[in-house]
Amino acid sequence: MFLTLATIAAAICAVSEIIFYHKKRTAGYIITSVLRNVLLTDTLTMFVFLHVLRCRHFLDCSMYKPNHYVKVFFVALGVGFLSQALYSFLTSRLRIEPDEPKHKKGAMVVRIVSTILFFLGCMAKTGTDWGRNEFGKVTGDQLIINLTSPTEGTEASVYYSGFEGPVFHSLLYTMLFALFVFVCFKLVCIFKNEKTRTVLNDLSKRIVCAVLAVFCLVQGVSYGIDKFKLETVFNAYVLKSDIIDKNYVDPRTAEIKWPEKKRNLIHIYLESMENSYMSKAEGGFMKDNLIPNLTKLAYTGTVFSNNGKYFGGPREGTGTQWSVASMVNQLTGLPMKAPGWINSYGADGKFLSGAYTLGELLEEQGYEQTCMIGASGTFGGLRYLYTTHGNWTFFDYNYAIEHKYIPENYKVWWGFEDDKLYEFAKKEITRLYETGKPFNFTMENADTHRPDGYVSPGKSTPFKLPYANAIWNSDKDVSKFIEWIQQQPFYENTTIVLIGDHLSMDTAFFRDAKFTKKYNRTQYNCIINPDPSVGKPDERVTRKRKWANWDYFPTIVASIGGQIEGERLGIGTNLFSGHPTIYEELGAKEVDKELEKGSVFYNERILQVSELDSAASKGIKTKKKHN
């Protein structure tokens, strides 16, 4: 609809030009005038909405009101008439004359190669800026995994943002570049005394364009390497480290003593939830506490902090800071690393097929298990993570449609909104409880996902920034859900684990909220009603800890009564135990540096991507020793 309105405005401009500017109206002139007006008006209107009016996702007209359509039309009309006036002024002062090159084939090769190099350079530069602005600090590993993993179910605004960012700008700049380099002309300046002078011929134009294209490519690629830290990709595929195999404790063979009466587990991943949303008095960065309920709730449980204050969280470790990676960390006790030579994350049965997870440990202990999300589980291969490891019911957007929880054509935000997620969760938890077996219910909410979050109609919006309102309402919703759990008959024997899946990627919010680089952002974390065997640990255990998401794997096992010999699973350490984590033992920077490197152990034993692993994979299926 946006482009339709802009094109109508461009057509009006073209008609006015044909009627009022020129008496000679040949078919060729009319076609040229219409095409030029449409191309310029549509392109420049999008540019104005992006960079002058600062409208994000203006191509998504689903939320438009009548005044928005009027605005688009009149802005496009104004842009069309202004560009038309500028074109007329320039053509009155400059004259373009034919200038054929001597060597046509060689000239054409230069034009084609220059345009391709220029486009690639533009994509590298604009793509890097878009990725950094949209997702924050993205590492090389994350970039490789996300580019090679399934994207089905991605929220539409991500695609709009991608088009409005690198695609639109790269096509715009390349289109202008191509028009300049492909048309064989010389530019002649007309002086008042009717004298003329050639200011640019075709040969000099081609030389300038070739140099500009090479410069653009080199600058764009070097910029992307620096901002995305793509040297880590080199490290992952060229350098090798044995830090994982030296410190890995296989959950298959680890001695774990379970209580006779199994404890229920409710594990909630809170999308992009971090401690910075609290007030400065609580250790956050906001003037007003955006998560007062979660703050209050945390004081009733156990929080593991990286500083001397009550609130803190894990380090941004290698292979941890996006949703699927966070779940991998907490289910396996491992970082999520780029695959050795093929993508092992996008197929059923092949997602970390050599890992042994929390789901498999609890399946062995007789647990009923459900994972619930409001988006499509195909995104990032998440469904395959759970269906490959344990007896999970995987309840996602597709499951909700198939089982008629929502209509077939229903789509809100990433699938269905959190209001429905919590209602479905209550029904599913009740069902799990009524089986008479211990249960493990895992879920992730999504209303605080970037960009700007989602606020259901009718909810309060007390803040200027949309994302602040999404956080504020999510805090209320989570709190009400926890209150419901605490009122149920199974609560006394149930542990609740709350953790932000990763730091927020909504870079616009942190820019608008004027966050300083000195403030150390950390994920919210809290464990409520853990097994009495872990008690209430003192500050020596909960504060000034150097830990990562993978430490939550054995910590969760301990929170439901599992007693782990050696206190480690995967490379994670049970935080309740007070034993040093791998970060505390070896140094956080050194560990992250080593984890950036390739790992033969990880590729062959965990990913199982090597043909040479056939014998080794059989060797790890050792006798289980869980009591």
Contact 488, 303 (CB under 8 A): no
The confidence band for 91, taking pLDDT boundaries of 50, 70 and 90, is low
DSSP 437: S
Give the mean model confidence (pLDDT) for residues 41-67. 74
Nearest to 572, CA basis, from 359, 317, 349, 291: 317
- β strands within 31-152, DSSP E: 94-98
DSSP string, 512-553: HTT--TTS---B-EEEES--TTT----HHHHSS----GGGHH
User: Which 8-state DSSP code applies to residue 334?
Assistant: S
Q: How far apart are CA 559 and CA 362, in angstroms?
A: 13
User: Which pLDDT score is estimated for 137?
Assistant: 66
Residue 227's pLDDT is 75
Range in 115-129, 278-292, 505-519 with the lowest mean pLDDT: 505-519
Cα 510 to Cα 552: distance, rounded to the nearest angstrom:
27
What is the spatial distance between Cα 386 and Cα 401, in angstroms, rounded to a whole number?
19
Radius of gyration of the chain (CA): 29
Q: Residues 595, 320: contact at Cβ < 8 Å?
A: no
Q: Which residue has the tokens 């195999």?
A: 245
Residue-wise pLDDT for 378-388, tens only, equals: 877 888 899 99
Mean pLDDT of 99-118: 80
d(CA 275, CA 522) in angstroms, rounded, equals 6
**In 10 A of CB 356, how many CB atoms?**
25
pLDDT tens digits along 577-601: 999 999 999 999 999 999 988 898 9
DSSP code of 605?
Answer: I
Q: Which residues contact 435 (CB under 8 A, 6 or more apart)?
A: 368
Which tokens go with 238? 């060229």
State the pLDDT confidence band at 617, using cuts at 50, 70 and 90: very low
CA distances from 309 to 71, 174, 240, 282, 284 (A): 50, 52, 37, 9, 11
Distance of CA 626 to the CA centre of its chain: 37
Task: Report which of residues 222 and 458 the model is more confident about.
Answer: 458
Which residue type does 148 have?
Answer: T
Q: What is the pLDDT of residue 414?
A: 87
Q: Note whether 353 and 608 are within 8 A (CB).
A: yes
- Find the mean pLDDT for residues 22-36: 73
Cα distance between residue 132 and residue 511, in whole Å: 12
Tell me if the pTM is above 0.85.
no
- pLDDT tens digits, 441-484: 999 999 999 888 999 999 999 999 999 999 999 999 999 999 99
DSSP element (H, E) containing 34: helix 27-51
Band of pLDDT at residue 178, cut at 50, 70 and 90:
confident
What is the sign of the dihedral through the CA atoms of 18, 20, 21 and 26?
A: positive
Q: What is the DSSP string of 183-213?
A: S-EEEEEEPTTS-EEEEE-HHHHHHHHHHHH
Residue (of 234, 367, 338, 303) closest to 538 by Cα position: 303
Query: Which range, of 138-147, 237-246, 295-304, 313-322, averages the lowest pLDDT?
Result: 138-147
Q: How many CB atoms sit inside 10 A of residue 381's CB?
A: 23
Tokens describing residue 468: 């602040």
Strands 494-500 and 94-98: unpaired
What contacts 364, CB < 8 A, 6 or more positions away? 624, 626
Which of 302 and 12 is assigned the larger pLDDT?
302
Region of poorest pLDDT, from 84-93, 106-115, 395-404, 499-508: 84-93
Contact 581, 546 (CB under 8 A): yes
pLDDT value, residue 156: 58
| DSSP 8-state class, residue 302 | B
3-state secondary structure of 368: strand
Task: Tell whether the model's pLDDT for residue 17 goes beyond 80.
Answer: no
Distance between CA atoms of residues 245 and 397, nearest Å = 37
Strand order in the sheet with 439-444: 392-395, 368-373, 439-444, 264-270, 494-500, 525-528
- Per-residue pLDDT of 338-350, as tens digits, reads 764 445 565 666 7
Tokens of 36: 């030029």
Give the C-alpha separation, 144 to 591, whole Å: 21
Percent of the chain with pLDDT over 70: 81
User: Is the per-residue pLDDT at 395 higher than 60?
Assistant: yes
In the prediction, which pLDDT does 197 show? 62
Mean pLDDT rounded to a whole number for the chain: 84
Could you read off the pLDDT of 186-196 as tens digits, one per residue? 666 665 556 65
Asked whether 523 and 313 are in contact (CB, 8 A), the reply is: yes
Of the two residues 89 and 367, the one the predictor is more confident about is 367
**What b-and-e string marks burial along 98-108, b requiring 16 or more CB atoms within 10 Å of the CB?**
ebebeeeeebe
Residue 104 has pLDDT above 80, yes or no: no
Residue 260: pLDDT over 80:
yes
pLDDT confidence of residue 338: 73
The per-residue pLDDT for range 528-542, each reduced to its tens digit, is: 999 999 988 999 999
For residue 621, name the pLDDT band (cuts at 50, 70, 90).
very low
Question: Which SS3 state, helix, strand or coil, does residue 424 take?
Answer: helix
Written as six digits, the tokens of 43 are 């392109």
Give the per-residue pLDDT at 619: 42
Residue 375 DSSP code? B
Confidence class of residue 90 from pLDDT cuts 50, 70 and 90? Answer: low
26-40, 71-85, 119-133, 467-481 — most confident range: 467-481
Residue 358's pLDDT is what?
Answer: 97
Note the pLDDT of residue 155. Answer: 54
Most confident of 133-147, 216-230, 449-463: 449-463
DSSP assignment letter at 164 = I
* Per-residue confidence band for 614, with pLDDT thresholds at 50, 70 and 90: very low
> What is the pLDDT, as a whole number, of residue 374?
95
398-402, 496-500, 506-510, 531-535: range with lowest mean pLDDT: 506-510
Helices (H) and strands (E) in the chain, counts: 24, 13
SS (HEC) of 253-270: CCCEECCCCCCEEEEEEE
**For 263-284, how does the pLDDT look when each residue is reduced to its tens digit (9 = 90+)?**
999 999 999 999 999 999 898 9
pLDDT of residue 159: 59
398-417 pLDDT, tens digit per residue, is 999 999 999 999 999 989 99
The CA distances from residue 366 to 103, 357, 388, in Å, are 78, 15, 17
Which residue has better confidence, 148 or 613? 148
What percent of the chain stands above pLDDT 90?
Answer: 50
Q: What is residue 143's predicted lDDT score, i.e. its pLDDT? A: 62
| Reported confidence tier of residue 393, pLDDT bands at 50, 70, 90 | very high
pLDDT at 615: 36
What confidence score (pLDDT) does residue 278 get? 96
**451 prior amide bond cis, ω within 30:** yes
